[in-house]
Amino acid sequence: MTRFAAPIAEQIWDMKYRFKQADGTPIDQTVEDSWRRIARDLASVEADPAAWEEKFYSALEDFKYLPAGRITAGAGTARRVTLFNCFVMGTIPDSMGGIFDMLKEAALTMQQGGGIGYDFSTIRPRGAAVSGVAADASGPLSFMDVWDAMCRTIMSAGSRRGAMMATMRCDHPDIEDFISAKSDPARLRMFNMSVLVTDPFMEAVKEDGPWELTFGGKVYHTVQARDLWNRIMRATYDYAEPGVIFIDRINAMNNLSYCETISATNPCGEQPLPPYGACLLGSVNLARLVSDPFDEGAALDEAALGELVATAVRMMDNVVDTSNFPLPQQAEEARNKRRIGLGVTGLADALLMMGLRYGSDEAAQQTERWLHAIARAAYLASVQLAKEKGAFPLFDAEAFLASGAMQQMDEDVRDAIRSHGIRNALLTSIAPTGTISLYAGNVSSGIEPVFAYAYTRKVLQKDGSRTEEEVVDYAVQMWRDKFGDAELPDHFVNAQTLDPADHVRMQAAAQKWVDSSISKTINCPADIGFDAFKDVYMQAWDLGCKGCTTYRPNEVTGSVLSVSETADAAPGEDADAPQAVDGGDVIYMSEPLDRPQTLEGSTYKLKWPDSEHAIYLTINDIVINGHRRPFEVFINSKNMEHFAWTVALTRMISAVFRRGGDVSFVVEELKAVFDPRGGAWVQGKYIPSILAAIGGVIERHMIATGFLAGEGMGLKTDPQAQVVNLDAPRGKACPSCGQYDMVMIEGCMTCRSCGHSKCG
């Protein structure tokens, strides 16, 4: 018997979380081995490791507690990776040397697998004087371009690209350039971007008052606050960015407001963190805790929930002691405050099982009750840990209890903290759970509604053939198992059919008992009016949210796979009832293609100016179903200074090619790399770096073999990525598996087929 509720769950485990040797040979033979590996590692710091290993294993068993992906993949492997998901880097100094020191720290952090956040408000605006060099400053946006280029070249641990968040204060003189930066689709693609919105600014917006843009005590411009707000709203209406972070509210509610100031978040926004702040994430799977689903007596077992939360808090606290950290400042910050971010997933499925419509007042009230129970259990568990192991080093009882969040906490919890201290400064956060929700059997993600009840995906077999499988939401599958083909009840709703106000209501209900923040996307219909769209953000502000992220499908952001409400109904079916998605013909390869004994290929000579030795590229192709596609690359040079990176590039590109799908993104990524020392003119064309030149050679080969239609263009035909229903709405192509299945989930573009996430 397999523990996996769906084939996609096992495939996600095998691809992302299963411990394997360097050659791909599995070390974890079963998912039970993975649970055992994690439990043993996190129990290793306990006084009685054997006893706690069993308790930890029980929490992990059957996907009840889901540590974030970096813990699941890295714990117990002895690999030099961080188990922490999120980092906010140090404050960027307003000097050239300081800026590039921060760039180096960012690269080292992403190399170990951490997503990072930066506040670029500390860099002087474009045009400001630079003393001593008789020059004007280029401004923070120019340095963000440098960060963006660096991130393109860094592959995070586990072959995950680095993810970054950039923030800027609403009173910075360059804020208007920051707001419009994503209108250029080729710029700052490695960043999520959010504006730090202050309380005075929101008051000025409501009053239609003036707003000063300042830096270093100097007023550079004065604008109308409402005009600036409208510019933010128009940009996110058109381009889905920037997001909005209510930064004063975050700092006022922060348990640690007495010893830190927050000005940035991690890439998905659910972890506001101070300079060098780090946080690890994990989620309780509410869908596994509902008894008698769909019956009148359906209920979530709150006793089991409390016990599970207490065990999860202990496991996460132990991660602080077992994890590596990219930088010593991050280790010191984490151990001084012992921040953790325990959240939930499967919320929408749990509500469905209990007969509640997501977004309704009843569902919001139930969500608030569950999150309150989780917060109580987490804080009381952390108090018990403090009694046993000591409070976090910077704990100050009266200052801690005087914070905005703690003032609303139950009095018995406050008394316990006052008497015994608390082990973890902050405990709760709603993390993005797109991949781990698939791993747990396609439960609904985080506190999001169910995105689609079912969709079809194509699985590419090693022989080039394709099989089709249905991916069904966890609660919907339970309904089918219990009631067969009976029509889904009216309370079954999805992300696209919900009113945006329903999304905001649920976010606000959860936020009341979450001490950090929430990763949540408010899906808006494509035809929502601009004024109605702005009202969504104002509602989020009025209801006490700490931020707001929306997604409105359009020609720029891409449409999304959605539940069809216009599909022709089969006899006896309600045409208005939710239908399964019929346009998600998705390819997912769980294993690389085998290499035939002979391959067709070509060798190209690349002579880079000022280099003594040429570089030779050999590109070999495989033929599948009569179509030729790249399979492997060899890059060679007599220049020994090139040896390490050419070997690394050979291995990485070949590994990507052997996974199949639309691999043309390799060309795009290489051609975008620029050398800060300058590029070169080659055959009358400026090439920004030697890596970009290699990308150009690969592109020409792909065009010559018919894989690409032309320079700068996508696939001419992709025999492995045919979309069955070309008229159906579809997302953008996934850069990992090549399929049109990218959707906005929890503030991040995520592939519903392979779990690839833009946010890492």
The residues annotated as belonging to the active site are 266, 268, 270
| Rounded Cα distance, 400 and 547, in Å | 23
Could you say which DSSP state residue 93 is in?
P
| Rounded Cα distance, 387 and 364, in Å | 35
Q: Record the tokens describing residue 34, joined without a space.
A: 């993975």
The one-letter amino acid at 66: L
283: helix, coil or strand?
Answer: strand
DSSP 96-162: HHHHHHHHHHHHHHHHTT-EEEEEGGGSPPTT-EETTTTEE---HHHHHHHHHHHHHHPEETTTEE-
Torsion 732-735-738-742 (CA) sign? negative
743: helix, coil or strand?
Answer: strand
Q: State the SS3 of 190-225.
A: CEEEEEEECHHHHHHHHHCCEEEEEECCEEEEEEEH
| Rounded Cα distance, 471 and 115, in Å | 29
230: helix, coil or strand?
Answer: helix
Please state, in angstroms and as integers, the Cα–Cα distance from residue 128 to each residue in 100, 135, 632, following that order. Answer: 19, 9, 49
Which residues are CB-contacts of 677 (< 8 A; sequence separation ≥ 6)?
none
The HSE-up count of residue 236 (CA atoms within 13 Å, CB side) is: 27
Neighbours of 328 (CB within 10 A): 9
Instruction: Give me Rg for the CA atoms of the chain.
Output: 26
Which residues are CB-contacts of 21 (< 8 A; sequence separation ≥ 6)?
27
CB burial class (10 A; 0-12, 13-18, 19+) of residue 369? middle
